[in-house]
Structure 1
Amino acid sequence: MIAPCLYIAATAQMGKGVFTNAPITAGSVIEIAPAIVMSARERKLLDQTLLHDYIFEWGFDGNRCAMALGWVPVYNHSFLSNCEYEMDYETNSIQIKTVRDIAAGEELFINYGGSWDSDKQVWFETK
């Protein structure tokens, strides 16, 4: 499920991103995407490819990974994001939900560090 108001467009500095063409209220689920879950062995192989930048740590032990389908890989990172993601290990899906009201035309961000307001460094900042 992807909310019908969402669209993908070019950004000034981050390539492409997810935007909305209508206002969205805080607490709205805007996407539920299936995820392809991979083993620890497969994760080691993916870590050697460009896909490393698009996978999520998966499971309670964190040694597996998942590739989200839908538009989840297109959301850009912000430390003070306007959306958060939640992983559902039972249904192998990732849900995107707004954490504040969002105006039409605004880009939607998730925090790659986990919590929508986490200031933990993410992998591309440590390179």
Structure 2
Amino acid sequence: MAPGLFIAGTEKMGKGVFTSVAITAGSVIEIAPVIVMSGKERELLDQTLLHDYIFEWGTGGQCAMALGWVPVYNHSYMANCEYEMDYTTNSIAIQTVRDIRAGEELFINYGGSWDEQKPVWFEAK
């Protein structure tokens, strides 16, 4: 975990991840392990609140629950961070895509790439 990161309340999204220090573009700020679950386990998770916090993982309907602070990063269509999945180490890395000012909230795009514009599941309804 990068120094200066903290979790705080947000006006509209519950809680989010923020930074108290400036972070340069291209910085890896977190590498979190994931728990990989089968397609059958995913069917059960889809019936719970955890559905909103899992990632598609590989093929065959698998999913993964990220540990660390990854589930707390909020969504933005013009995110200032991106995530990368490592299927070999079963981890997700969060990296900045631009310089971040102290005090800023850190966002990822739930659609995949940091600038994906396709509506995510909770807005596509």
Q: TM-score range by the shorter chain?
A: over 0.9
Per-residue CA distance 1:22-43 (angstroms, 9 max, x = gap): 0000000000000000000000
1:3 aligned partner? 2
Q: Indicate the SS of the match to 1:25.
A: coil
**Match in the other structure for 2:87:** 89
For structure 1, which runs of at least 5 residues remain unmatched after alignment?
A: none
Residue 44 of structure 2 aligns to a residue whose secondary structure is helix
Q: 1:112: which partner in 2?
A: 110
The aligned residue for residue 32 of structure 1 is 31
Q: Distance in 1 between matches of 2:60 and 2:120?
A: 16
Q: Are 2:12 and 1:44 equivalent residues in the alignment?
A: no
Q: Which amino acid aligns with 2:62?
A: R
Question: Which secondary structure does the structure 2 equivalent of 1:51 belong to?
Answer: helix
**Counterpart for residue 56 of structure 2:** 57
**In structure 2, C-alpha distance between the alignment counterparts of 1:53 and 1:39, rounded to whole Å:** 17
Whole-angstrom CA distance in 1 between matches of 2:40 and 2:87: 19
Q: What per-residue deviation string (whole Å, max 9, x for no partner) do you get for residues 91-110 of structure 1?
A: 00000000000000000000
Question: TM-score normalized by structure 1?
Answer: 0.97
Match of 1:26, SS state, is coil
Q: Kindly state the Cα deviation for residue 82 of structure 1 after the two structures are TM-superposed.
A: 0.1
Which letter maps to 1:85? Answer: Y
Q: How many residue pairs end up in the alignment?
A: 125
Amino acid aligned to 2:47: Q
> RMSD of aligned C-alpha atoms?
0.7
User: Judging changes above 3 Å, is the alpha-carbon distance between structure 1 residues 102 and 112 closer, same or farther for their aligned structure 2 residues?
Assistant: same
- Structure 2-normalised TM-score? 0.98
Read off the aligned partner of 1:123 and give its amino acid letter: W
SS across alignment from 2:122: helix
Stretches (4+) displaced over 3 A: none
Report the CA distance between 1:126 and its aligned residue: 2.1
